[in-house]
Structures are given as structure tokens and as C-alpha cells.
Structure 1
Amino acid sequence: MKHTFVLAGGCFWCLDAAYRALRGVSEVLSCYTGGATEHPSYEQVCTGHTGHAEAVAVTFDDEIVPAEIILDAFFTMHDPTQLNRQGGDIGTQYRSAMFYADETQREVFTAALDRAREWWPAQIVTTLEPLGIVYAAEDHHQDFFAKNPTQGYCLAVAAPKVNKIRAKFVSYLID
């Protein structure tokens, strides 16, 4: 059965690239959510004044890759102990957040947070937020890593996150 989780953990280029490496993931949409501005642009979101987070909407088949793996990968590929930042990316638009569509998703996300607390020695700051409107990011942000593998940010930040996923979730990688 297909499900979609909307997750934010820093720059969406990194999450997008890492999720595309997993079998059972049929779509990853880089997007903006969690804010008040209608149809925000990347430039607007980067100001930190829209309330939106850079996020990804990950659509997957739970008969191929369980929801727990999607969420454990989320807590592997970013540092959920950093408040409103991931490394050099600073601001509320880079917050760690899980946007739940319904009560069932909220429960699944809460269980994932509990699992992650066992791995991370510092306090996790990931928020659980109700899913509002999801706005697709501009076309050039979609599948950015694959289109720009030698770009500096991709080499320095995205590639190591993809490699972490490849190392930890070997049995779920695309052949």
C-alpha cells in the first residue's frame, strides 16, 4: 500500500537524494510546508519569514519498504538534535519536523521519535506538526542531487548523507 510522509530535516536536496536511493520509494517531491505564506518561492522561504520548512513528500510502498525504515532513515540522514539548522544551513526553514496527515501518522511518527531517542545522546528537537498545504518547490530543486552531482553543496553535504543511508540500509537499496 502506498503512503506519503512529509518530512523536514535541513536542505531538501539532501533528503530528496537519500530517499531516492531506497527501493519502494516511488516519488520524492521537494516542497515547502508548515508556514502561512501562500505559494512561497524559494527566495521567500530562505528569508525565514514565511514559517515554511524545506521538506520532502516521500511516497513509498510499505510492502517493499516499511514505514519504520522510511522514518529511521530520516533520523539517520540528518541531526535531529540541532534546533532550526542543519550544519551551516540556519533558520526555521531548516527545522527538523514531521508533518502528520492524520492521527495514525502522528502515532507512527511518535513511535519513530521514541526509537530515535535511543540512538541520539542529545535531546531531539524534531517537531510533530499537522500537515497543512504542501507547495511544490521550483522545478530546478526536484532531484537536484542527480542533476548536479558535482555541485559543491552536493559533494560536501548531500553525498555524505546519501552514503550514510547506503551504509545503514543496504537491504533496501535500489539494485
Structure 2
Amino acid sequence: MNKDIQIATLGGGCFWCTEAVFQEVKGVEKVISGYAGGNVPGEPTYREICSGLTGHAEVIQITYDANVISYEDILVIFMTTHDPTTLNQQGADKGTQYRSVIFYHDENQQKIAAEILKQMQAYFNDAIVTELSILPIFYKATQEHQDFYKNNNGQGYCTFVIEPKLAKLRKLHADKLN
């Protein structure tokens, strides 16, 4: 079967969490942690992003086979494994760098994402505040931020923040997992 390789770029709080979630999804070839959506010149550093002053969001870029998993399914998994109703916050992580955002790559992704956001609202009591924006430049985070959960799953942040998201993923989307 020929592969239909596509890319999705999503921000759902700390990129360590969203990276760990999508690394378990069938059809996902690669997940890269990084930054997008800022308004300062040059490539930002992690420290600059954490200040909240650059306008960048922590995001992941997912390379996936659309013959195995659809963009729609990726967005549903995304929307159900983080809180899309809290503005600039995921749990204790606060600031614009932790906003919920879908960066679309083309008009088709924009149309699909807008429809998914509309459909998903029925499942939440509060309004969805997920930003929908065209992807500007994507900056890859340094190597220490790649595969963070895989390399550090004994750390407190992984235990208390990432593992509950993975449990939710496994409960809600077991049919979509490796």
C-alpha cells in the first residue's frame, strides 16, 4: 500500500504531553516538538518561549500516513487529550506559550479543523478557545525536548501530568493506538 504522508501542527499546552500522546497513535510516523506562532525575529530559544514574551506556542509537528489515520481523527484525539476550553493554560502551565492551537497547513486543513472544532463543542460545558491559524514558521526544539516522556518517564512531571493524558488516550481511543 502506498503511503499518503501528511503533516499536522498542534499545540495543546506543554509539547512533552502532546508528543507522548501522538507517539502512541497508529499511522503516526514521527512527532517533533517545537514552536510556532510567534512574532519576534530569528529562531527563539526555549528560555525565550517560556517567558511568554515571544508569542510562540509550544507545538508538535506530526508526520502521519493519511491512509492509516485521518486528519479528522488526529484532531479528535488532540481535542480529547487536552483541555481546549482554558485560555492560555493547561493545568498548572500558564501563558500564551501553552495555548490550545491548531496551525493549519492549507485550506483543506483549515476547513476540516473548523468543522471539528464546531462538532467537538457539544462535548464541552465551556466554550472551546482553541486558536485556528495558518502555520507560520515551525522551529524545532532542541534535542533535550524530543522524546521527552520516553527518555524521562520517571520524572514527577511525567508521572503527574503526562501519564493521566496517556490514560485518557488509551481509554477513549484504544482502536487508534499502536
TM bucket normalised to smaller = over 0.9
- Which residue does 1:101 correspond to in 2? 105
Task: State the AA in 2 paired with 1:12.
Answer: F
- With structure 2 as the length reference, what TM-score do the two structures score? 0.96
- Which residue does 1:155 correspond to in 2? 159
- Give the fraction of aligned pairs with identical amino acids, expressed as a percent: 43
Structure 1 unaligned regions, length at least 5 = none
Offset from partner CA, 1:14-62 (integer Å, 9 cap, x none) = 0000000011000101010000232111100000010100000011111
- Distance in 2 separating the partners of 1:102 and 1:113: 17
- Which residue does 1:129 correspond to in 2? 133
- With structure 1 as the length reference, what TM-score do the two structures score? 0.97
Structure 2 unaligned regions, length at least 5 = none
Which one of 17, 28, 35 corresponds to residue 32 of structure 1?
Answer: 35
Moved more, 57-66 or 13-22: 57-66
| Count, aligned residues | 174
Tell me if 1:91 matches 2:91. no
Offset from partner CA, 1:44-95 (integer Å, 9 cap, x none) = 0000010100000011111111222110010011000000000100000000
- Which residue does 1:19 correspond to in 2? 22
Tell me if 1:49 matches 2:38. no
- Distance in 2 separating the partners of 1:94 and 1:166: 23
- Distance in 1 separating the partners of 2:112 and 2:31: 19
- Distance in 2 separating the partners of 1:25 and 1:80: 22
- Distance in 2 separating the partners of 1:160 and 1:68: 23
- Which residue does 1:120 correspond to in 2? 124
